[in-house]
Amino acid sequence: MVANLSFSLNGGLIIGTCDGANIEITREIGQENIFLFGNLSEDVEDLRHQHLYGSGFELNPALREVFDAIKRNTFGDADQFSALVDGIVDHGDFYLVSDDFHSYCETQDLIDEAYKDKEGWLTKCITSVARCGFFTSDRCIVEYADEVWSV
């Protein structure tokens, strides 16, 4: 959560998966001010199980094109990326990169469109900063003092 929260506090807009930290941030800043993509966190374990024990792992075709470009040394020495590619292709894609890739690309297209509206983009940035106040250390310490430490 810390990294994405830091982005928001500094006026950056988040593109992220639908997981716990991003969901918490979304509740505070509003869905219109964050770009979420991919599978829901409650589906992750089932998808991982399917990858390992199901009828076979299917690599997203567009992601395969990216990996083919990597193997052709398009982005530099392909060996530098081998652990990343092998983890997805040969070892069950634990982080579900292939499952989320299409959604990620679609969300990038939405970001490109949103960025064209400079005033709207600026409003999203300022609103995100203003609504992150919930995550202050003051609130957190008071909450811990009341609920955890009973002081």
pLDDT per residue as tens digits for the range 67-76: 999 999 999 9
pLDDT score of 136:
80
In a domain, 115, yes or no: yes
Total domains in the fold of the chain: 1
The residue count for the chain: 151
Q: Where are the alpha helices (DSSP H) in the chain?
A: 2-9, 20-29, 44-53, 61-71, 82-89, 97-116, 118-131, 137-147
In a domain, 125, yes or no: yes
Distance CA 62, CA 45 (A): 24
In a domain, 68, yes or no: no
Closest among 125, 106, 130, 105 to 115, alpha carbons compared = 125
Range of the domain at 36: 2-42+100-147
Structural contact between residues 48 and 96, judged by C-beta atoms closer than 8 angstroms: yes
In a domain, 126, yes or no: yes
Q: At 1, is the pLDDT very low, low, confident or very high (cuts 50, 70, 90)? A: low
In a domain, 85, yes or no: no
Closest among 131, 42, 58 to 98, alpha carbons compared = 58
In a domain, 71, yes or no: no
pLDDT score of 7:
85
pLDDT score of 98:
94
Residue 55 has pLDDT above 80, yes or no: no
In a domain, 89, yes or no: no
In a domain, 122, yes or no: yes
pLDDT score of 140:
79
Provide the mean pLDDT of the chain: 91
* Greater pLDDT, 101 or 10: 101
Q: At 8, is the pLDDT very low, low, confident or very high (cuts 50, 70, 90)? A: confident
Residue 56 has pLDDT above 70, yes or no: no
Residue 26 has pLDDT above 70, yes or no: yes
Residue 123 has pLDDT above 70, yes or no: yes
Model-level pTM?
0.83
